[in-house]
Structure 1
């Protein structure tokens, strides 16, 4: 899979999982209160974390063949675990809760979005550690393409969520929809993990 498509696929697989960022953006879109601003803030925060992961962590790992192997295997292991967790979640699907009072001012929107993005251990693990490790085996051009793919996934998802909140909300409240989504995420995660492992043991 080309680096750009790998980054795009991995980014979408990570970001569409139920989480505080998605609930926040969807809530703002549903209430028509700064939904696009919420999407912009979350996208910018994710871009910063992803860039640090790919150009910082990924580039650092790429300086040593041993670190590339370790980083790639660690990323693949996490993908296998993440995929297993998605399959497990599909057995007991949840729903995306959007109830609650939305933030009222642009300043509060920005602060809340930053907190959901930068103070969320799962978001940091996904963007910095997982995405950074998954890019370690790529060359400079490949890491750039991979970065663009993952960033595009973030921006596309958040703005689609804000703009289509009214239509997506009923679907996202359905456990069956999240069950299907969890299975798809698990398949994608395991497919990417298999590709990373195959690359390590095939020497490329």
Structure 2
């Protein structure tokens, strides 16, 4: 059972984090320039892990006091997942790509971490994704399985940022291909819709 919960957290984490955005482009840029890659990857991944854990544990405490709140948040989570899934499927129909410029002045270690912090913490969607959405879904798990869900979702961040940063020179041509992102978005959309269906089934079983 713990493995299934881990995979669910991993799939959800990957579905939310794998998208064209400023944070991903910055990590890819640092990887291409080979500048402070370890610090940038570690900061982004650790920030995600802390926000995910805070969301799951905080939501779990809130949901323990109200069955109706638990059901409402589960339904809201399913709605969010469906929305994300439909968005990803829509993006799959529209060619796009992710590129990161290699030019420009190099960043000091402090400046690189500061920019990573800005991209990670000043985007309101980060809190919607990690604290509210992942938190509410993770809190639906049994108490002894929540840590596995958090570990799965956090592993998604570690793997993704690690690939972007340390595999940048090999992956950059792939990320620049529109077809590759169409396939990735299609898989993301299907994953999100499946997770939404599983969450709705969980709500039905608990009602």
Give the TM-score normalised by the residue count of structure 1: 0.94
CA contact (8 A) 1:28 1:102 kept: no
- Report if the CA contact (8 A) 1:31-1:102 is conserved: no
TM-superposed CA distance for 1:101, in Å, is 3.0
After TM superposition, where is structure 1 displaced by more than 2 Å over at least 4 residues in a row?
100-103
Cα offset for 1:149?
A: 0.8
The 8 Å contact of residues 29 and 36 in structure 1, kept in 2 or not, is answered as no
Q: Which residue of 2 aligns with 1:83?
A: 85
Q: Per-residue deviation at 1:103?
A: 4.9
Among 64, 67, 86, the alignment partner of 2:66 is 64
Partner of 1:154: 157
Q: How many residue pairs are counted as aligned between the two chains? A: 204
Q: Which runs of 5+ in 1 are unaligned?
A: none
Distance in 1 of aligned mates of 2:130 and 2:105: 26
- What is the alpha-carbon root mean square deviation over aligned residues? 1.5
Whether contact under 8 Å (1:11, 1:153) holds in the other structure is yes
Give me the whole-angstrom Cα distance separating, in 1, the residues matched to 2:51 and 2:156. Answer: 14
CA distance in 1, matches of 2:104, 2:68: 50
**Given the alignment, which residue of 25, 42, 48 partners 1:23?**
25
Contact 2:99 2:172 (C-alpha < 8 Å) held by counterparts: no
Aligned to 1:142: 145
Q: Distance in 2 between matches of 1:46 and 1:39?
A: 11
Give structure 2 stretches of 5+ with no counterpart. Answer: none
Distance 2:114 2:138 in 1: 30
Displacement after TM superposition at 1:143 (Å): 1.3
Spell out, residue by residue over 1:31-64, the C-alpha distance to the aligned partner (whole angstroms, 9 max, x if none): 1111221111111211121111111124322432
Residue in 2 aligned with 1:120?
123
Q: Deviations over 1:131-163 (max 9, x none)?
A: 011112212112111111111111111112211
> Normalising by the residue count of structure 2, what TM-score does the alignment of the two structures yield?
0.93
Q: Contact 1:72 / 1:136 at 8 angstroms: preserved in 2? A: no
Aligned counterparts of 1:123 and 1:51: Cα–Cα separation in 2: 13
